[in-house]
Structures are given as structure tokens and as C-alpha cells.
A and B are shown apart, each in its own frame.
Chain A
Amino acid sequence: MTDPLDPLFDALADPTRRALLLRLVRDGPDTASHMAADLPMTRQAVVKHLQALVDAGLAVPERRGREVRYRAVPEPLVDAVRWLVAAGAHWDQRLDRLERATRRDGRRSAVP
């Protein structure tokens, strides 16, 4: 049985595809021609990489007239990363308070 996550891992295993995905996330939707202009590769090569991102569910092609713009779809990732960052920051604050509480109380019982 094929793992449905295989295209995802394949897509992210390649540094070029990671760079293209990050650029779509950061700079918004873009065409293969425009992206290829800044990169040491042909438009055809960029299209192939973008198609791998599409197959993995990480990007969607949107046709506008004669051109196709690719848009990143990181919503599930963004939600999860946001949770991780917020929960981590919260625990850092709480543990700072705990450290202060134990220092103040020294060897005595924490609550008089």
C-alpha cells in the first residue's frame, strides 16, 4: 500500500522545492516564469518542482488568462506552528515564575 504522505515527504526532501515553497509562502502567489528568472534553472525545471508541491497538497495552480500562478497552501502547518509557538511561550513564562517562586521560598515550604 502506498503511503499517502509519500508525495509530501518527496516534495519537502528536495532543497529547491523547499526554497520555492518558502518563497510562495513569503512573497505570495507567483508564476513559474517569474520565479525562474531569479534562479539558475529553466522555467520547465521550475514547473516540474512546483508540480511536485501541487501533488503533495502544498501548492495549488491558479489559471489567470494565459498564465498559471502557484499559491502555497500552508494553513494546516500555520495552525500547528502557531499552537507550538504559543504553548511554548506560555510555558516559558510560567516556568520563569516557578523559578522565581522557588528562589524566594528557599528551603522553606513553598506556602507558609
Chain B
Amino acid sequence: MERTTVRRTAELDCDAATLWHLVSAAEGLGTWLGEDVHLDLRVGGSGRLVDDDGAARDVRVTELIDGQHLAFTWWPAGDDGASSDVVFTVEETDTGSRLVVTETAANALGSWETRVVSLWLSVCSLARV
């Protein structure tokens, strides 16, 4: 079943080890993911991230494969009903490395709505043609 997922891929010049440090260490994450990142980086570890717009999010690590894969759940501080699941996957490439990010809404959007959304988006794109 289609879920409400955002997916992005970034091709990067740095090697996979450097990229892994940027996506899996609090000080690395602090250079791009948000302004202020505190995170206990192990499965079950939690933390807090302040986004560049000042909004705080609570974070809990759900999966960790060193050097490759980090998954966490995050939600606006104080509102765990609006959580979403984020997965980072780091891959080595011929020219450097690649980061694949997915974010999937957990509870906020029910399955009925998410199935409709893909249809709705195709409706909107058809209308623009």
C-alpha cells in the first residue's frame, strides 16, 4: 500500500565515511540537519533537535547499522501524535557518496487519505498539463 512518504537523494563529493559522520554524529548533524542537535546515538537513544526555524523536535533512534543506515522517529516537542519516521541510507558511489532520505508520516494521515493523496496529486498534475 502506498504510504505518505517523502524521498530525497543527494549525490555528494565526500567519501562515505565522511558522510556517515555528518549523518550519524550530533556535531555532524548540527552542520546541516538543524541548528542545535543533541542525540544519544544508539538504538533506543533519544535527543532533541532545534530546526533552523526555531521549532524543537524530539528524536528517538530506532535502527542503526554503523556506516550505512540510521532510522529515527521524530515529532514536534510535546506532540508525539504528529510523529514521522526518517531513514538515512549512506552508499558509496564511483564519485563519492550518496545519501537517501525518506520521511514517512506515522499517525497523522490515515491509510484512506494516503491512498487518495497519490490519486489527488495525479489529478493536480493532469490539470496543469
The answer, yes or no, to whether A45 is at the interface (CB within 8 Å) is no
Query: Quick check: is A5 within 8 A (CB to CB) of the other chain?
Result: yes
Contacts of B31 in A (CB 8 A): 97-98, 101, 110-111
* Residue among A83, A93, A103, A105 facing the most chain B CB atoms (10 A cut-off): A83
Q: Which residues of A contact B32 (CB under 8 A)?
A: 94-95, 97-98, 100-101
| Chain B residues closer than 8 Å to A83, beta-carbon distance | 4, 105, 108-109
Main secondary structure of the interface of A (DSSP, over half): helix
Count B-side interface residues using an 8 Å CB cutoff: 42
Given contacts A18-B127, A99-B10, A110-B14, whether A80 and B119 have CB atoms under 8 Å apart is no
Which residues 67-100 in A have Cβ within 8 Å of B in the complex? Answer: 74, 76-77, 79-81, 83-84, 87-88, 90-95, 97-100
Interface majority SS (helix, strand, loop, mixed), chain B: mixed
Shortest CB distance A79–B (Å): 7
Identify the A interface with B (CB < 8 A): 5, 8-9, 12, 15, 18-19, 21-22, 74, 76-77, 79-81, 83-84, 87-88, 90-95, 97-103, 105-111
B116 touches A111 (CB 8 A): no
Q: How far is the CB of A61 from chain B (nearest CB, A)?
A: 20
Complex Cα–Cα for A92 and B28 (A) = 18
| A81 CB contacts on chain B under 8 angstroms | 117, 120-121
